[in-house]
Amino acid sequence: MATLQYTGVFALLIAEIFVFVLLILPMPTRWKRAMITWSSRSVVAQRVLYAVRIAFGFILLLFCDAVMRLRKVEQEKHKARLVDEHALCQMKVQMFYAQRNTYLTGITMFLGLILISTHSLIAQLVAGDGDGTGSASTTPRLATSGPGSSK
């Protein structure tokens, strides 16, 4: 049963990677502005974000469970003196699954935080470009040194 939950976590991780790559791809400002405004104003996008927030709550619970299971397997490993090859192999399999689940849920939560920060930064950047004030008028021009510069 636990593999079904971790399959869902993996699917969410793949979706996060896809959205992150979509956000950082170089594209015209008009397209990026349309994408950001759609994601911030669309009812469908808001419902998806609400569902993802609920999923992050479950992922946090799965992460806590995976960490506890990892600690339990490590404690059993140190307590037991295994001579049987089958029991040793079973212990290594349990350790592998516990570590895999810990890393999977942890990186999914971490990438989710990065995705939220990237989305807000790009939204601020796109909003700054569309003001009419523009970032070119507010930032000082850097002096260029080269063949075309006047000294």
d(CA 122, CA 36): 8
The model's pTM is 0.72
Per-residue pLDDT tens listing for the chain (151 residues): 468 899 999 999 999 999 889 888 898 888 888 888 888 788 998 888 888 889 899 999 999 999 999 999 999 888 877 678 888 888 899 999 999 999 999 999 999 888 888 888 887 887 787 655 544 444 444 445 545 555 4
CB 108 within 8 A of CB 17: no
In 1-129, alpha helices (H): 2-24, 29-41, 43-79, 85-129
Q: Is 65 helix (H, G, I), strand (E, B) or coil?
A: helix
